[in-house]
Amino acid sequence: MQALQTLTWNDTWYLAPEIVLAAFTIALALLDLSLPRRIDRDIIGWGAVLGLVTAGVFVGWHIHDLGAWEKAGESPFRNLLDGSYRVDDFGNLLKLVFLGASALIVLASLGTVKKEEVPIKGEFYYLVLPAVLGAMVMASSGDLITLFIGMELLGIASYILVGVRKSSGLSGEAAFKYVVTGGTASAFVLYGMSFLYGATGSTRLSGIAQSIGDAVEGSKALVYVAFFLMIVGFALKLALAPFHAWAPDVYQGAPTPVTSFLGVVAKAAAFAMLYRLFVNTALYAYADTAQVREDLFLALAVLAAAAMIVGVAGALRQQNAKRLLALSGVANAGILLVPLTLDITSFHSSLFSEFIYYLLAYVFMNVGAFAVLTVVSRETGSEELSGFAGLYHRAPWTAAAMTALICSLAGLPVTGGFFGKLFILFGTVQTKQYWLAAILLFTTVVSYYLYFSFIRQMFMRSGDTERQTKVPMATGLVVWICAIASVALGVLPKPILEWVDGLFSVSLDFLSR
């Protein structure tokens, strides 16, 4: 406790994004309580978007400041509370992803979420903010305790969001399954953390990295148990096969904007925690832990392969669009996990740039697809694939945007999804993980049939009605932002990768103390 630093006024500047989200949550909750019931709660949604954008501005300001310090020869990161909280480019880049994705999800829901689906719209909008706050804490934590607090803050807010449709049996079932699964995952992670603390004597990630060599020498079995318990917990959080069974039911039962949040922001936050924890402690540990390191990352590689195979195979049989996208998310989680499993060599040192590039593509193509699903389900009253039938005749521009998003999901040229998979594929070949490369190629080819089902319905099937589909302005804007971004990532991948590589450094963002 004597080593803990007290927060100063200067430190609060580095916590400005988190403070902004907390302040907006309180302000919007009070505004919701004070507004008459007759006033539409979309005003709360616009306030949530404003809070997310404001926090994003502060994160961008921090990125600029860190770059200026690095050019001046200073440390391009800041440690708060003796390293419990760390402001660096790894965390800042992921915070921008969380905030941007959440802003798009809330914006897409404005005007499309019906009262029958979300009866308490005000709470729905401002509960997103503490969930994003938890995700940001997970991305910047340098201590096991802080990591767990961020994970639980995100989890508790997400449990409420999933069960927000109080009168729906599907929503109640989804909320129950999500609470049980989330609680089980948290228990595994916390249990693993406790063993890791017992073996190393520290909850600081830097302290664990320094002590893990001695821990392996003295109690190797305990270290194995600690990491494998955490792997099981993260596999549950990320819905990696064979721990994915909850995802289709929860995604189907939750309101569509909440499903989009779970599939994008919550998943990205779990990856942030996984990368922060494993790269800091296991990947760059001392040479005498080489065998442990190889075993751990082989286990992660097997999980990634299983997720790609099971996700694509399970989605082939689905006719419900939400369940299909849920299983597609299982496969994509496996792809996002692959860079972490690869060796860092002189030929392959860009694990994070590959991860963040595909994560950006994943965010845009999934947020856009769920936004289109929101419009279609609102118009047809169905979340089945058949609801997309004849969409080209009812909303041709929306169908065109959905086609671009589907092409990115499938990994077709020239889209962000194509280059994201291609860069990860190159990484597997460079590190001689040919079996992972083969599985990635095989599942990508099979997924073409899976995603073509959307295009077949939109362009080759006639719908039950010829009535034009009304697309709210905010939702249409999000759909086109996501479609254009998905194509732009494929047309101009080099500037994005160069920007990420220029900001992120393994030695500075992960290994510097």
pLDDT at 326: 92
pLDDT at 308: 95
Of 163, 159, 212, the C-alpha closest to 182 is: 159
Q: Which residue has the tokens 């989680």?
A: 333
**Contact status, residue 151 vs residue 138, Cβ threshold 8 Å:** yes
Per-range mean pLDDT, top range of 166-170, 228-232, 461-465:
228-232
Residue 2 is assigned to a structural domain of this protein: no
pTM, two decimal places: 0.92
Residue 4 is assigned to a structural domain of this protein: no
214 burial type by CB count under 10 A (0-12 exposed, 13-18 middle, 19+ buried): middle
The distance from CA 271 to its chain's CA centroid, rounded to whole angstroms, is 7
Q: What is the CB-side half-sphere exposure of residue 239 using CA atoms within 13 A? A: 28
107-166 pLDDT tens trace: 998 877 665 556 556 788 889 999 999 999 999 888 899 999 999 999 999 999 998 877
Dist CA 2 CA 61 (whole Å): 32
Residue 6 is assigned to a structural domain of this protein: no
User: Per-residue pLDDT averaged across 503-509, rounded?
Assistant: 66
**Contact status, residue 262 vs residue 250, Cβ threshold 8 Å:** yes
Of 136, 181, 142, 172, the C-alpha closest to 154 is: 136
Q: Could you tell me the two tokens for 277?
A: 């924890």
pLDDT of 354 strictly over 80? yes
Q: Which helix (H) or strand (E) holds 273?
A: helix 267-278
Specify the higher pLDDT residue, 12 or 289: 12
Specify the higher pLDDT residue, 502 or 289: 502
109-128 residues labelled b (16+ CB within 10 A) or e (exposed)? bbbbbeeebbeebbbbbbbb
Q: Amino acid letter at 343?
A: D
According to DSSP, the residues that pair with 141 across neighbouring strands are: 85
Q: Please, which residues have CB within 8 angstroms of residue 494's CB and are 6 or more apart in sequence?
A: none
pLDDT band at 168 (very low <50, low <70, confident <90, very high): confident
pLDDT at 383: 84
Q: Which residue has the tokens 């391009």?
A: 76
Q: Amino acid letter at 137?
A: V
488-499 pLDDT tens trace: 999 888 888 888
31 burial type by CB count under 10 A (0-12 exposed, 13-18 middle, 19+ buried): middle
Give the three-class secondary structure for 37: coil
Give the three-class secondary structure for 84: coil
User: Per-residue pLDDT averaged across 424-444, rounded?
Assistant: 91
pLDDT at 154: 94
pLDDT at 346: 47
Q: Could you tell me the two tokens for 437?
A: 């490369």
Dist CA 284 CA 286 (whole Å): 7
pLDDT band at 171 (very low <50, low <70, confident <90, very high): confident
Q: Which residue has the tokens 């706050």?
A: 133
User: Per-residue pLDDT averaged across 75-104, rounded?
Assistant: 86
Q: For 315-364, give the secondary structure using H, E and C.
A: HCCCCEHHHHHHHHHHHHHHHHHHHHHCCCCCCCCCHHHHHHHHHHHHHH
Dist CA 22 CA 129 (whole Å): 7
- DSSP letter, residue 264: I
Specify the higher pLDDT residue, 345 or 133: 133
User: Per-residue pLDDT averaged across 61-81, rounded?
Assistant: 77
Residue 10 is assigned to a structural domain of this protein: no
User: Per-residue pLDDT averaged across 57-80, rounded?
Assistant: 80
pLDDT at 2: 47
Residue 204 is assigned to a structural domain of this protein: yes
**Contact status, residue 208 vs residue 277, Cβ threshold 8 Å:** no
Residue 479 is assigned to a structural domain of this protein: yes
pLDDT of 217 strictly over 60? yes
User: Long-range contacts for 336-339 (Cβ within 8 Å, ≥24 apart)?
Assistant: 336/271, 336/362, 337/238, 337/240, 337/271, 337/274, 337/300, 337/303, 337/304, 337/307, 338/301, 338/304, 338/424, 338/427, 338/428, 338/436, 338/440, 339/424, 339/427
- Give the domain range for residue 202: 15-511
pLDDT band at 413 (very low <50, low <70, confident <90, very high): confident
Q: How many CB atoms lie within 10 A of CB 295?
A: 13
**Contact status, residue 322 vs residue 252, Cβ threshold 8 Å:** yes
High-pLDDT (> 90) share of the chain, %: 45
Of 119, 334, 106, the C-alpha closest to 240 is: 334
pLDDT at 255: 87
272-311 pLDDT tens trace: 999 888 887 766 554 455 677 788 888 999 999 999 999 9
Residue 371 is assigned to a structural domain of this protein: yes
pLDDT at 56: 94
Dist CA 350 CA 357 (whole Å): 11
35-68 pLDDT tens trace: 887 777 778 889 999 999 999 999 999 888 887 7
Domains contained in the chain, number:
1
Of 329, 372, 493, 485, the C-alpha closest to 108 is: 372
pLDDT at 3: 46
Residue 323 is assigned to a structural domain of this protein: yes
Dist CA 269 CA 265 (whole Å): 6
The mean predicted confidence, pLDDT, of the chain is 86
pLDDT at 482: 95
pLDDT of 512 strictly over 60? no
